[in-house]
Amino acid sequence: MKKKKIAPVIYIILCFIFLYLPIVVTMVYSFNSSKSLTKFESFSLRWYENLFSNGEIMNAVYVSVTIALLATAISTILGTITAIGLSKSRKVLKEVIINVNNIPIMNPDIVTAIGLMILFSSMKMEKGYLTMLLAHVAFCTPYVITSVYPKVRNLDPNLANAAMDLGATPFQALTKVILPMLKEGIFAGVLLAFTMSFDDFVISYFVTGNGVSNISIIVYNMTKRTNPTINALSTLVILVIVITLVVINVIPIMVRKKRERKAILIEKPQELKEE
Amino acid sequence: MKHFVKLIRPYMVWAVVMILVPLLLIVLYSVTTGGNDLINIQFTLENFKKMTEPIYVAVFVKSFQLGLLSVGICLFLGYILAYLITKFSERVQSLLVLLVTIPMWINTLLRTYAWICLLSDNGIINAILGLFGLEPVTMMYTDFAVVIGLVSDLLPFMVIPIHTSLCKIDHSLHEAAMDLGANRFQTFWRVTFKLSIPGVLNGIIMTFLLSISTFVIPKLLGGGQYMLIGNLIENQFISVGDWNFGSAISVILAFIILIAITSMKRIDKDEIEEE
Amino acid sequence: MKKMMKKALCLITGLALLTGMLTGCGSDKPTLKVYSWGEYIDTSLLRDFEKEYNCKVIYETFDSNESMYTKIQSGEAYDVLVPSDYMIERLIKEDGLQAIDWSLIPNADGLDEAVMGEEFDPDNTYSVPFFYGTVGILYDTTVVDEADLEDGWEILRNEKYAGDIYMYDSERDSFMIALKALGYSMNTTNKDEIDEAYQWLIEQRDTMNPVYAGDDVIDNMISGNKAMAVVYSGDAAYIMSENEDLEYYEPEEGTNIWQDAMVITSDCTEVELAHAYINFMLDAEHAYANTVAVGYTSPVVEARTKAAEEDFAGNSAYLPDVEGENDEVFRYQEQEIKEYFAELWTKVKAAN
């Protein structure tokens, strides 16, 4: 078996080179002392200094992060309660809402963007932070619903009833019984919503104004001239994301291991099913 | 349980305002003239008629060709990658999947910007070619650059769903097929591939959706003369200011996508029913 | 259940309000919104202005007059704009601007009389010049044969240089080139002439395979990626200061003499501050900082002379020839003609 594995490993490595080449290049040249993107002259942190002294970029970072956090929070709440309500609705209503909910997912970004832009203009709303946030919630919520709803459907409908029979208020039934059981779906929704929001360019580009820009828009405006400050920014963004992802992925493994160990101690070894 | 039915009400209002109204506005713009003044609109089908001019039809054809080409390349590279990943132990698999996901989290624009550094006439790739005494190759502003940019952006969207559906396949099916006398190729084609079709279709839909509507990647890597549907729409809204024609193109694009996705889903359903 | 909903709603609105307060609404300093070309200012001047006048400047940029106009049409309000000639004329015609109170701009004394009173605003009622220049061909002297330059704009269709040129991704400038090459006025309204120019551009696309670049042409030409590029004189000056092999050339068939000027919109509420901003930019020292930072020619005589003698000595693009007898200034286009151009330009770019 060992021999056969060489070709696949090479293939996988090549694929990863292809995926990571732009990322690595960005990171390496963020430490270049000259403006050139081809010749690496010497190590320097000048682009990082530039980055932190550039108010425009720092502001964009602030906008990107806060919008992503807020949009994620709002769309997670909105999406989760909708998913719960959806499972209890009449069939026709359910189908209509699910189909409408699918529109932003299926529609090309640019169409969604233009629809929202026309909406905001015709409502005479001043474009800026608020319009951007509303737009982000609009395209994030459908993803939350699609990741939470299947989990709600799998719930035993009697659980909440049982809780309420035992004297829980509907609110308690929701927070103490239902929500904990949807944890995984909600978590997946949070991740998806955050990525979607943080990475978005097209929709933000069309609905923003008044000097409010996120990272993507800044990068788009700056790509016209070579500017390694962008590389410095990318490197930091990449680091933050990689660290977050690793933490997110490592913690469940560690928790699971702990549980496994406990399980071994307490009961007989048990097979863990992987999704 | 009826208590929870009301939970969908906020989203119903939200979906009407933020999903349906924008769509209706686009449709309204597409069948009227009179620009941004909603007061003096006139109904017309001129905008759609304009779309039938050969030059605009050519833009659609080119976008679809390029989209399909990128999806095809992604499918080919991605399927092999996903398949090979499943051959590893579970722990290595989840690491590899994480590695495939990470680039997805990093801003598309940042990665595209890095490709400019790699591909430009005096970029890194040409510098490396120069070390071997090879003539520099012009890659920027060509189909090649745009396809490279698209594929590296879309590949993870293809790998993840395929990998998920490959993982779900019960291993005993392979053994059964082999026991029944199927050779390796037959086993792969008749069992593995067939059972992974839902993932493949999901991957195709995702990558196709993203590639058909993009305007950033062609603009940055293809130059101003690289006109795809997304660029045409952006052009109408941002520089020409003909929102009516821009809306008409968006409507047609959304319509085509809708048909494409519905037919794909039908294939998916047929496959499942066949089983 | 209602409670739950209310809670959620409260949370959502609370969060929205909070961010609303965090971003912007918080300060009661006067705010000036400026909308100008990208890479068109020494940005440190904005901070200086903010300090000196205890205000906040929101500085946004556009990459074409048309996209600026669309943005304004979509309901966006600004105080100071820096559009070009024909767009200023259009904004004047559409009552989008308010008259300048020249008494609030003492630094105007330093302006070069020669760039004042252009056709688009004969008495400078509305506009204060910011930068001016021409459009020309930037060429690599190591590649381009000087003799070929005698063809004028037609050199852009010389197949010797096929695949080796950058056009400028701008509707009016591209049509200007074609119309001038054909010997017509760039402000023509004759559809036959426009169609002919369209054919010129389509044929150029077929035979020359040009790249329609935006500002990315700057880096590309500094690196010497292609033999020729259509550029604004100011960009040429900057590029030539970074790459000595390049030279700037204005064909004799005439070119576009353009001017970008500061104007105050009719929406502007901070009128005094807007005048202060304009005056600030005309200060010889500030104008010098701007012109050195971006390479465009300043209409402020003192700043221009200093830059021409020190920073751009021997740089032919910094002081472009604006006296050519075939040169013109872009004029306002009637809606119908404008749409006609816009559609043809989309077709040129979409042609394959």
CA A209 to chain centre: 23
C5 chain-A contacts, CB cut-off 8 A: 81
pLDDT value at position A37? 66
Of A130, A171, A224, the CB nearest to C3: A171
Residue pointed to by tokens 């425009």: A56
Q: How far is B145 from chain C (nearest CA, A)?
A: 14
pLDDT value at position C274? 96
Best to test chain B binding among C1, C10, C208, C349 (most B CBs inside 10 Å):
C349
Of A25, A114, A242, the CB nearest to B118: A25
Contact C19 A66 (CB under 8 A): yes
3-state secondary structure C61-117: EECCHHHHHHHHHCCCCCCEECCEHHHHHHHHHCCCEECCCHHHCHHHHHECHHHCC
Put simply, whether A71 touches B (Cβ < 8 Å) is no
Q: How far is A74 from chain C (nearest CA, A)?
A: 6
Contact C23 A129 (CB under 8 A): yes
C170 chain-B contacts, CB cut-off 8 A: none
Contact C169 B224 (CB under 8 A): yes
C-alpha C131/C-alpha C139 separation (Å) is 23
Q: What are phi and psi of C29, to 5 degrees?
A: -65, 150
* Under-70 pLDDT residues of chain B: 1-3, 34-40, 271-275
pLDDT value at position C34? 93
Residue pair A270/A256 in contact (Cβ under 8 Å)? The answer is no
The tokens for C46 are 């904005």
Three-state SS at C334: coil
Put simply, whether C75 touches A (Cβ < 8 Å) is yes
Which DSSP state fits A174? I
Contacts of A83 (CB under 8 A, 6+ apart): A144, A145, A148, A149, A151, A152, A182, A185
Which DSSP state fits A35? S
pLDDT value at position B13? 86
Nearest residue on chain B to A88, judged by CA atoms? Answer: B5
Length of chain C equals 352
Contact C59 A70 (CB under 8 A): no
Which DSSP state fits A271? P
Class of domain B31-274: mainly alpha
Residue ranges in C114-253 assigned as alpha helix (H): 171-181, 191-208, 216-222, 233-242
Give the pLDDT confidence of B143-162 residue by residue, as tens digits: 999 999 999 999 999 999 99
Q: How far is C193 from chain B (nearest CA, A)?
A: 21
DSSP C235-282: HHHHHHHH-TTEEEE--TT--B-EEEEEEEETT-S-HHHHHHHHHHHH
Put simply, whether B73 touches A (Cβ < 8 Å) is no
C-alpha A212/C-alpha A120 separation (Å) is 15
Put simply, whether B132 touches A (Cβ < 8 Å) is no
Contact A78 C12 (CB under 8 A): yes
Q: What is the domain extent for residue A77?
A: 54-228
C-alpha B229/C-alpha A109 separation (Å) is 12
Contacts of A146 (CB under 8 A, 6+ apart): A101, A102, A105
Contacts of B170 (CB under 8 A, 6+ apart): none
Put simply, whether A125 touches B (Cβ < 8 Å) is no
Put simply, whether C214 touches A (Cβ < 8 Å) is yes
Q: Set out the domains of chain C in order of their start, with CATH numbers.
A: 20-131+259-309 (3.40.190.10), 135-256+328-350 (3.40.190.10)
pLDDT value at position A224? 63
Contacts of B49 (CB under 8 A, 6+ apart): none
Nearest residue on chain B to A201, judged by CA atoms? Answer: B109
Contact C9 B10 (CB under 8 A): yes
Q: Chains meeting B at 3+ CB pairs closer than 8 A?
A: A, C
Q: How far is C18 from chain A (nearest CA, A)?
A: 10
Query: How distant, in Å, are the alpha carbons of A59, A67, B195 from that of A52?
Result: 10, 20, 51
B253 chain-A contacts, CB cut-off 8 A: 108, 110-111
DSSP chain B: -GGGGGGGHHHHHHHIIIIIHHHHHHHHHHTEESTT-STT-EE-SHHHHHHTSHHHHHHHHHHHHHHHHHHHHHHHHHHHHHHHHTTS-HHHHHHHHHHHHHHHHS-HHHHHHHHHHHHSTTSHHHHHHHHTTPPP---TTSHHHHHHHHHHHHHHHHHHHHHHHHHHS-HHHHHHHHHTT--HHHIIIIIIIHHHHHHHHHHHHHHHHHHHH--HHHHHHH-TT---HHHHHHIIIIII--HHHHHHHHHHHHHHHHHHHHHHHHHHHHHHHH-
Residue ranges in chain A assigned as alpha helix (H): 6-29, 46-53, 55-87, 91-106, 109-122, 129-154, 158-165, 170-172, 179-181, 183-199, 202-207, 215-222, 229-266
A220 in a structural domain = yes
H/E stretch holding C15: helix C2-20
Put simply, whether C60 touches A (Cβ < 8 Å) is yes
Residue pair A31/B168 in contact (Cβ under 8 Å)? The answer is no
A–C CB contacts, 8 A cutoff, strictly below? 72
| Complex-level ipTM | 0.86
Q: Which of A68, A66, A105, A102 is nearest to A195 (CA)?
A: A68
Nearest residue on chain A to C15, judged by CA atoms? Answer: A70
The tokens for C12 are 């959502």
Put simply, whether A245 touches B (Cβ < 8 Å) is yes
A77 in a structural domain = yes
pLDDT value at position C275? 96
* Under-70 pLDDT residues of chain A: 1-4, 36-38, 223-226, 263-275
Contact C61 A221 (CB under 8 A): yes
Of C66, C225, C351, the CB nearest to B55: C351
pLDDT value at position A252? 74
Contact B105 A134 (CB under 8 A): no
C-alpha A148/C-alpha A129 separation (Å) is 28
pLDDT value at position C8? 52
Residue pointed to by tokens 């942190």: A45
* Under-70 pLDDT residues of chain C: 1-27, 352
pLDDT value at position A53? 82
pLDDT value at position A273? 40
3-state secondary structure A183-216: HHHHHHHHHHHHHHHHHCCHHHHHHCCCCCCCHH
Q: What is the pTM of this model?
A: 0.85
H/E stretch holding C167: strand C165-168
The tokens for A224 are 């016209």
Q: How far is C25 from chain A (nearest CA, A)?
A: 11
- Quote the Cα angle for C6-C9-C14, to 5°: 120
Q: What are phi and psi of C138, to 5 degrees?
A: -95, 125
CATH code of A81's domain: 1.10.3720.10
Rg (Cα) of chain B, in Å, rounded? Answer: 23
CA C26 to chain centre: 33
A151 in a structural domain = yes
C264, β-bridge pairs: C80, C98
A38 in a structural domain = no
C-alpha A275/C-alpha A272 separation (Å) is 10
pLDDT value at position C1? 46
Q: How far is B50 from chain C (nearest CA, A)?
A: 10
Put simply, whether A179 touches B (Cβ < 8 Å) is no
- The total number of structural domains in chain A stands at 1
Give the pLDDT confidence of A22-51 residue by residue, as tens digits: 999 888 888 988 776 667 778 888 889 888
pLDDT value at position C187? 94
Q: What are phi and psi of A32, to 5 degrees?
A: -75, 140
Of A23, A39, A110, the CB nearest to B111: A23
pLDDT value at position B3? 66
Domain edges within chain B:
31-274
C-alpha B191/C-alpha A167 separation (Å) is 52
The tokens for C228 are 């020729």
Residue pair C256/C176 in contact (Cβ under 8 Å)? The answer is yes
C167, β-bridge pairs: C212
C-alpha A211/C-alpha C59 separation (Å) is 7
